[in-house]
Amino acid sequence: MHDDRSLVEARLKRVLDERIRPAVYPESVPLDVAVWNAPGEPVPVAEGLAGATEPIAVGDRWGAPWGTCWFRVSGTVPEAWAGRTVEALLDLGFDENMPGFQCEGLVYRPDGTPVKGLNPRNQWVRVGAPAEGGEEVLLHIEAASNPVILDYHPFLPTQLGDKETAGSEPQYVLARMDLAVFDEHVWNLVQDLEVLGELMQELPVDGARRWDILRAVGRALDAVDLQDVNGTAAAAREQLAGVLATPAQPSAHRISAVGHAHIDSAWLWPLRETVRKVARTTSNMTALLEDEPDFVFAMSQAQQFAWIKEHRPEVYAKVKKAVAEGRFVPSGGMWVESDTNMPGSEAMARQFVHGKRFFLDEFGIENDEAWLPDTFGFAAGLPQIIKAAGSKWLLTQKISWSQTNKFPHHTFQWEGIDGTRIFTHFPPVDTYNCSMKGSEIAHAAKNFKDKGVAQHSLAPTGWGDGGGGTTREMIAKAARMRSLEGSATVTWETPTDFFTKAEAEYPNAPVWVGELYLELHRATLTSQAKTKQGNRRSEHLLREAELWAATAAVRTGADYPYEQLDRIWKTVLLHQFHDILPGSSIAWVHREAEKTYAAVAEELNGIVDTAQRALAGDSTTGETLLFNSAPHARGGVPAGAAAPVTDGGSSRLAPREGGGFVLDNELLRVEIDARGLVVSAYDIAAGRETVAPGQSANLLQIHPDFPNMWDAWDVDAFYRNTVTDLTDLDELTPVEEGGAVSVRIVRSFGASKVTQLLTLAPGVKRLDIDTEADWHETEKFLKAAFPLDIHAERYASETQFGHFYRATHTNTSWEAAKFEACNHRFVHLEEPGWGVALVNDSTYGHDVTRTVRASDAGTTTTVRVSLLRAPRFPDPETDQGVHRFRHALAPGAAIGDAVREGFRINLPERRITGDREVAPLVAVDNDAVVVSAVKLADDASGDLVVRLYESTGGRARVRLTTGFDAAGLVVTDLLERPLADAPVPESGDAGVLLSLRPFELITLRFTRG
What digits encode the pLDDT tens for the residues 463-512?
999 999 999 999 999 999 999 999 999 999 999 999 999 999 999 999 99
Instruction: Give the chain's radius of gyration (CA, Å).
Output: 31
987 pLDDT above the threshold of 80: no
Cβ-contact 141, 125 below 8 angstroms: no
Q: What is the pLDDT of residues 49-58, one digit of tens each?
A: 999 999 999 9
Dmax over CA atoms of the chain, in Å, equals: 105
1009 pLDDT above the threshold of 90: no
Q: Give the pLDDT score at 647.
A: 73
Instruction: Give the chain's mean pLDDT.
Output: 97
2 pLDDT above the threshold of 80: no
Mean pLDDT in residue range 638-652: 90
Pairing mode, strands 369-371 and 393-395: parallel
Among candidates 739, 744, 758, which has minimal Cα distance to 670? 758
Cβ-contact 803, 864 below 8 angstroms: no
Q: What is the pLDDT of residues 219-248, one digit of tens each?
A: 999 999 999 999 999 999 999 999 999 999
Cβ-contact 853, 860 below 8 angstroms: yes
1 pLDDT above the threshold of 70: no
Active-site choice (162, 192, 264, 374) = 374
195 pLDDT above the threshold of 80: yes
Q: What is the pLDDT of residues 275-333, one digit of tens each?
A: 999 999 999 999 999 999 999 999 999 999 999 999 999 999 999 999 999 999 999 99
Cβ-contact 944, 1008 below 8 angstroms: yes
Cβ-contact 635, 644 below 8 angstroms: no
Q: What is the pLDDT of residues 811-865, one digit of tens each?
A: 999 999 999 999 999 999 999 999 999 999 999 999 999 999 888 889 999 999 9
Which residues 6+ apart lie within 8 Å of 211 measured at CB? Answer: none
| pTM higher than the cut 0.95 | yes
Q: What is the pLDDT of residues 76-94, one digit of tens each?
A: 999 999 999 999 999 999 9
Among candidates 356, 343, 370, which has minimal Cα distance to 305? 356
409 pLDDT above the threshold of 70: yes
Q: Which amino acid is at 577?
A: F
Q: Give the pLDDT score at 737.
A: 87
Active site residue 374: yes
Q: Give CA–CA dist 317/82, Å, rounded.
A: 33
Among candidates 337, 403, 777, 783, which has minimal Cα distance to 574? 337
Q: Give CA–CA dist 359/529, Å, rounded.
A: 33
Q: Give CA–CA dist 270/277, Å, rounded.
A: 11
